[in-house]
Amino acid sequence: MIFYRLVEMIKGSSLSTIKSNDGFCVHKTHFAISKYQKKRFNCVASVSSVEQQLKLTGDSFIRPHLRELSPYQPILPFEVLSTRLGRKPEDIVKLDANENPYGPPPEVFEALGNLKFPYIYPDPESRTLRGALAKDSGLESEYILVGCGADELIDLIMRCVLDPGDSIVDCPPTFTMYEFDAAVNCARVIKVPRKMDFSLDVQKITEVIEREKPKIIFLTSPNNPDGSVINDDVLLKILDLPILVVLDEAYIEFSGLESKMEWVKKHENLIVLRTFSKRAGLAGLRVGYGAFPLSIIEYLWRAKQPYNVSVAAEVSACAALQNPGYLEKVKVALVQERERLFKLLKQVPFLNPYPSYSNFILCEVTDGKDAKKLKEDLAKMGVMIRHYSNKELKGYVRVSVGKPEQTDALMDCIARLS
């Protein structure tokens, strides 16, 4: 009879060392050993049954911290939703994901229709697009890197900066991808909740940074889901702290404020992220971009996937930038519609909307109405809005700003529920 004993589990890895009692047989294996199995493992086993006991299943290969990760909760895909509701996609009033309902300018459709070289890999440096972005932003292209959505850049930054066990500061309620990507990258999330009015708690942020030495803080301006912005004094205070500040400006166009992209020249610890998803109606094509200090961007170039921006994505983004008049017109339409929507929502007895600098409006659901039920009732009528399952936002819904007819359809359905 040979006894096997679990000698060590290598932290943060699926590698385990297993030793037999005869001292001869030592395995380094990739068997996943859970806490439960670890207990069981100290029991006696025969040679053949050890292999059986440690049954090799697919998840044995997965990194331990990922086995504990809860899956990201995406919203229902448009096509699935339209089938479920038995409606054409264009008949669904989709106000749940802050997309731009006007879509991109006609130049994008034309450029996509005329794609000459879809069978050739894209330029790994997205030079044409970065050149166009330099013109658009006033910041030289050497400071700019493009990604498969701002989402990819959030993950890329974490992969370049965080070691397993490092921490980030997250200021909820905010965009949930920071927390999600931190978990994927084996980082700890230190939460410094926003105050009741959704402004940042700068004092607590300062204390946490001094005490726990986190590596990155994610700041979102305008913030998703409430639409508030971060003023320059607050940003400068946080930039003075020993931490890398990632300022997410996904919705900056709707705020009437200037982007801080150029600030990366003065602040070695600032990264500014932006996207084509909202401003140019290209959410489905996945193009985001960021401004980085030169001392940081160098490493992102080394770590990024070479073909992260597809030919279709680059061509579309370039075509969108060729029609700044269209982008401006659509932005103005959405900002005007936001103000109209705000006034209408304010008249609903059970909604308390928050003023927003973005293309969505957060509403507290009051008067004993249930926010989740409100979202579900509207969904049955073909109007999609966002509800949150986390406890801070349980009593809230977020409504994206749509076209005027979408606002009318929403208000009509709300009236029917009153």
Ligand X SMILES: Cc1ncc(COP(=O)(O)O)c(C=O)c1O
- Choosing from 275, 316, 359, 406, the residue that interacts with ligand X (CB under 6 A) is 275
Q: Residue 234 or 344: which CB sits closer to ligand X?
A: 234
Of 275-283, 291-299, 305-313, 399-407, which part binds ligand X (CB under 6 A)? 275-283
Q: Residue 214 or 222: which CB sits closer to ligand X?
A: 222
DSSP 8-class letter at 75: P
Residue 126 lies near ligand X (rule: CB under 6 A): no
In whole angstroms, what separates CA 308 from the centre of its chain? 17
Q: Where do the H-state alpha helices sit in 68-226?
A: 78-85, 106-113, 127-137, 149-161, 177-184, 202-212
- Choosing from 220, 228, 316, 359, the residue that interacts with ligand X (CB under 6 A) is 220
The residues in 276-315 that bind ligand X, with binding defined as CB under 6 A, are 277, 283, 288
Q: Residue 16 or 356: which CB sits closer to ligand X?
A: 356
Element (H, E) at 340: helix 324-346
Answer whether 401's CB lies under 8 Å from 230's CB.
no
Burial class of residue 58 (count of CB atoms within 10 Å of its CB; 0-12, 13-18, 19+): exposed
Shortest distance, CB of residue 287 to ligand X, whole angstroms? 7
Nearest Cα to Cα of residue 250 among 360, 112, 386: 360
Of 66-74, 126-134, 147-155, 332-340, which part binds ligand X (CB under 6 A)? 147-155
Backbone angles phi, psi at 244, to 5 degrees: -80, 125
Q: Residue 172 or 288: which CB sits closer to ligand X?
A: 288
Residue 357 lies near ligand X (rule: CB under 6 A): no
Q: Residue 64 or 193: which CB sits closer to ligand X?
A: 193
The residues in 84-113 that bind ligand X, with binding defined as CB under 6 A, are 98
Query: What is the total count of residues that contact ligand X (CB under 6 A)?
Result: 13
Shortest distance, CB of residue 276 to ligand X, whole angstroms? 7
Residues 108, 312: Cα–Cα separation, whole Å: 10
DSSP 8-class letter at 59: G
Residue 253 lies near ligand X (rule: CB under 6 A): no
Residue 248 lies near ligand X (rule: CB under 6 A): yes
**Token duo for residue 287:** 């193009």
Which residue of this chain has its Cβ atom nearest to ligand X in the complex? 149
Element (H, E) at 305: none
Preceding peptide of 105 cis, ω within 30°: no
- Choosing from 137, 185, 221, 224, the residue that interacts with ligand X (CB under 6 A) is 224
Residue 250 lies near ligand X (rule: CB under 6 A): yes
Answer whether 22's CB lies under 8 Å from 2's CB.
yes
Residues 175, 225: Cα–Cα separation, whole Å: 7
Return residues touching ligand X (CB under 6 A): 98, 149-151, 175, 220, 224, 248, 250, 275, 277, 283, 288
